[in-house]
Amino acid sequence: MKLWGGRFTKEENQLVHNFNESLSFDQKFYRQDIEGSIAHVTMLAKQGIVSEEDREAILGGLRGILADLDSGKLTFTKEHEDIHSFVEANLIQRIGEAGKRLHTGRSRNDQVALDMKLYCRDEIGEIDALVKALLEALLEIMENNLDTYMPGFTHLQKAQPVTLAHHIGAYFEMFFRDRSRLHDMKKRMNTCPLGAGALAGTTYPLDREYSSALLGFDGPTQNSMDSVSDRDYLIELMSALSMIAMHLSRFSEEIIIWNSNEYRFVELDDAYSTGSSIMPQKKNPDIAELVRGKTGRVYGALISLLTTMKGLPLAYNKDMQEDKELSFDAIDTVKGCLALFTGMISTTTFRKDVMESSAKSGFTNATDAADYLVSHGVPFRDAHTIVGQLVLLCLDKGIALDDLSLEEFRAVSPVFGEDIYEAISMETCVKRRITTGAPGQDAMKQAIQVYKRRLADGSGD
């Protein structure tokens, strides 16, 4: 009984350890954990809370751990509960007594709050650079396609002619807002929780302003209970990532449609498509499909974190450890999607001829034909009916409005003259759309100047 009982207890303890541990995933921010400890001990020594000798020993030990983890000389071992315990135990092993003083005036609660913020801040920098690279790729496509005519759609039905530059410009706007959101949240999250302790600060005379400045924050957090239990910034980040994923997914969906046999607007580079194991003719847009598909797990991280937080009383609760795995996954997923999508879109061939003939064959110039009548004094409602009759006639004959003879035009309305052909040509339809934000070349050139300035001044705002 005893033997069995002992064995059972041991096994259960192991299960508890496995369930409770976070080292298997929070090792991801070992750099930030050590960076935080370096700032903490520097501040402790400045305040006379630890001696200068101990500070030097601790700094040496921490830098050694960092170098050994970076080089792979030191590896993570399962017996430690989390990255904080791992680093501290390793430090004590390396430098002895002095190592035991590092955790003075600190709790793992403010430590993990700090580590996660530092990690997110670094990752936001990387995501921002990836969004910027995508914006640059889009801008290049825009500059090369001011005269590439294509149908603009509503309800996925051909509506009015636009240009590829204009269509891509819509995505530029979306990803620009994404960038601005990242910048915006980075400003809001940039306060330092270190020194909040477990929840109620500490009795040591910590200089929180000093450690905050050492770590590049705008200042210390103002309420210690909020400091250790705030995960709003992470929810904002998951929300910003969800929005990026949603934009990438919409764009991917369009690429998938444009790549279909029916559309053939684009030719994907071989490097970004795959074949079928059974159908030799297939070239599938797998990368675009995967980017679209991965959106679900990014949304999952957002919803999961919101749900984890919704019932938590102040201050720290272990539930918060659940903030890590899914958000790490969402961050890595979005970074991967951005990099792959940028590679795919910048190697895609846009088939200008197919796009233009598609715009011509879909009555996208019907509104312009009606506008022509209006400019000749016909009330818009009557013009709408007249052009509707012409569209019916064309559908019957299987031709475009441009293919009707002048007699056919005039049979429906004598207002039509020879200049109707010029008025409804793709070139005219687009060129005359001159208002700010419209597809006309002049308006687009202005937009491109604005976009260039936005990219050059480095801000997302």
Q: Which residues are catalytic?
A: 155, 276
Cβ proximity to ligand ARG: between 112 and 291 the closer is 112
From the list 101, 106, 108, 294, which residue makes contact with ligand ARG (rule: CB under 6 A)? Answer: 108
Piece in contact with ligand ARG (CB under 6 A), picked from 105-113, 297-305, 380-388, 402-410: 105-113
Q: Cα separation of 430 and 164, whole Å?
A: 11
C-beta of 35 vs 82, nearer to ligand ARG: 82
How many residues contact ligand ARG, by CB under 6 A? Answer: 10
Selected binder of ligand ARG within 90, 109, 202, 212 (CB under 6 A) = 109
Task: Give the shortest CB-197-to-ligand ARG separation in angstroms.
Answer: 11
Contact between 360 and ligand ARG by CB under 6 A: the answer reads no
Structure token digits, residue 324: 């890590």
Interface with ligand ARG (CB under 6 A), residue from 274, 321, 346, 357: 321
Burial of 412: CB neighbours in 10 Å, binned 0-12, 13-18, 19+? middle
Q: Binder to ligand ARG among 38, 50, 98, 112 (CB under 6 A)?
A: 112
* Least gap, CB of 260 to ligand ARG (angstroms): 46
What's the min distance (Å) between Cβ of 256 and ligand ARG?
A: 39
Q: Which is nearer to ligand ARG, 26 or 123 (CB)?
A: 26
Which residue has its beta carbon closest to ligand ARG? 321
C-beta of 22 vs 342, nearer to ligand ARG: 22
Minimal distance, residue 122 CB to ligand ARG, in Å: 18
Contact characters 300-319, ligand ARG, x per CB under 6 A: ----------------x-x-
Which of 82, 88, 123, 368 binds ligand ARG (CB under 6 A)? It is: 82
Q: How far is the CB of 186 from ligand ARG (least distance, A)?
A: 22
Residues in contact with ligand ARG, shown as a per-residue x/- string from 14 to 43 under the rule CB under 6 A: --------x---x-----------------
Given a contact cutoff of 8 angstroms between Cβ atoms, the answer to whether 197 and 110 are in contact is yes
Question: Shortest gap between Cβ of 113 and ligand ARG (angstroms)?
Answer: 9
Compare residues 82 and 368 and give the one whose CB is closer to ligand ARG: 82
Asked if 85 interacts with ligand ARG (CB under 6 A), we say: no
Q: Does 320 bind ligand ARG (CB under 6 A)?
A: yes
Minimal distance, residue 52 CB to ligand ARG, in Å: 30
365 vs 363: CA distance, rounded Å: 5
Residues near ligand ARG (CB under 6 A) are: 22, 26, 82, 108-109, 112, 316, 318, 320-321
